[in-house]
Amino acid sequence: MDELKERVSNLLEKVDIEGKRKEIREIEAASSRPDFWKDHKNASLKMKELSVLQKEVNEAEKLQSLISVQDFRAAQALLDKLEILLYLSGPYDKGSAMLSIHSGQGGVEAMDWASMLKRMYTRFFERKDWQYEIIEETFGEEAGIKSITLEVEGDYAYGYLKGESGVHRLVRQSPFNADNLRQTSFALVEVMPRIEEDNNIEIRDEDLEWDFYRSGGHGGQNVNKVSTAVRLKHIPTGITVTAQSERYQGQNREYALRLLRAQLWLLKEEENKKEEKRLKGEYKAPGWGNQIRSYVLHPYKMVKDLRTGFETSNTEAVLDGDLDGFVDEELRKL
């Protein structure tokens, strides 16, 4: 119990409850001023920040209470949860995320694997009580999806998801092969923070090339009779993004800009990491050469993270969104 109490003491010191209480008082005072809601966007962000701070303080106070009444089992469970939050201290970790899945080589088998990952992640979002919206989705001709981009809104969404970036490998008996041969498929997952504004990311109107077209649904049916879907190209980098989830062109334009901002941030981050790791040793880009997790369904059942060594034979639970063990181990490693 002494070890548990010491862990609790260290955590409470790092959480800085008094500092957070001060931030709460400052936001509450600002929100009571008449001009606070003139800038609705900033006001909403501040109120969201207030909610997160209040939750952190309440949970820290609950932990103190559990220790004082010697409910060590409940304290242990809450402590494990709060210790994970300490690893989420990056500038965008508390905010929302953009998650993209791209099927690799392998035709319909790979597209089906991308669709399975889509289901896995959306189930994970639901477990976390996060909201999500599909910004763009390209279906396969026979089955599955070629690619999908989702916007995920929830507390610490980016922090929890950022370690999912990389290549996910599936080994199974193919349902698309009459001989039930064992097939290996790959899909690439990209995770970026949702960035509202960043002074380090400059997007000039003259660098943008817009294209508007009709949004197509599964099977080639037109979802809209007007050109509401948006394709946006950033001329200096060649980055192209699409948005076609909304029936209104204006909303899709906003989604496209948000996704472009995230892609430009990711590009800058990778350039910084590449230079930093070039000085230290080998650099490994988070693209198709970076396999992070293997999902084996045949001849045995095993999901293993290649970075942390964390593994489980309960493949059904993982593919149904039970990712907490993998996410927690990766956060502790970062």
* pLDDT (tens digit per residue) in 101-133: 999 987 899 999 999 999 999 999 999 999 999
- Reduced to 3 states, what is the DSSP secondary structure of residue 242? strand
Spans of all domains in the chain: 2-86, 97-198+282-333
pLDDT of residue 248: 81
pTM, 2 dp = 0.82
- Across the chain, what does the average pLDDT equal? 88
Which one has a higher pLDDT value, 176 or 327? 327
User: Please, are residues 157 and 97 in contact by the beta-carbon 8 Å criterion?
Assistant: yes
Residues 136-148 have a mean pLDDT of 92
Q: Is the pLDDT of residue 306 over 60?
A: yes
pLDDT of residue 106: 77
Q: Are strands 97-103 and 145-153 parallel, antiparallel or unpaired?
A: antiparallel
* pLDDT (tens digit per residue) in 205-239: 999 999 998 876 544 444 445 678 999 999 999 99
Give Cα 88 to chain centroid, integer Å. 13
DSSP string computed for 11-61: HHHHHTHHHHHHHHHHHHHHHTSTTGGGSHHHHHHHHHHHHHHHHHHHHHH
Instruction: For helices 2-15 and 17-31, give the axis angle rounded to 10 degrees.
Output: 40
Are both 2-86 and 97-198+282-333 of the same fold?
A: no
CATH 3.30.70.1660 is right for the domain spanning 97-198+282-333: yes
pLDDT of residue 223: 44
Backbone φ and ψ of 50, nearest 5°: -60, -45
Q: Is the pLDDT of residue 305 over 90?
A: yes
pLDDT of residue 219: 42
Model confidence at 165, in pLDDT bands (50, 70, 90)? very high
What is the token pair recorded at 87? Answer: 């690893």
Q: What percent of the chain has pLDDT over 90?
A: 58
* pLDDT (tens digit per residue) in 25-52: 999 999 999 899 988 888 988 998 899 8
* pLDDT (tens digit per residue) in 229-266: 999 999 999 999 999 877 788 889 999 999 999 999 98
Residues 166-176 have a mean pLDDT of 91
pLDDT of residue 228: 84
Model confidence at 69, in pLDDT bands (50, 70, 90)? confident
pLDDT of residue 255: 92
Give Cα 198 to chain centroid, integer Å. 19
Which residue in the block uniquely carries the two structure tokens 């920040």?
49
The C-alpha atoms of residue 111 and residue 186 are separated, in whole angstroms, by: 9
127, amino acid identity? R
144, amino acid identity? G
Q: In what order do the strands lie in the sheet with 229-234?
A: 208-213, 229-234, 239-243
The C-alpha atoms of residue 173 and residue 176 are separated, in whole angstroms, by: 9
pLDDT of residue 59: 92
CATH 1.20.58.410 is right for the domain spanning 2-86: yes
118, containing H or E segment:
helix 108-127
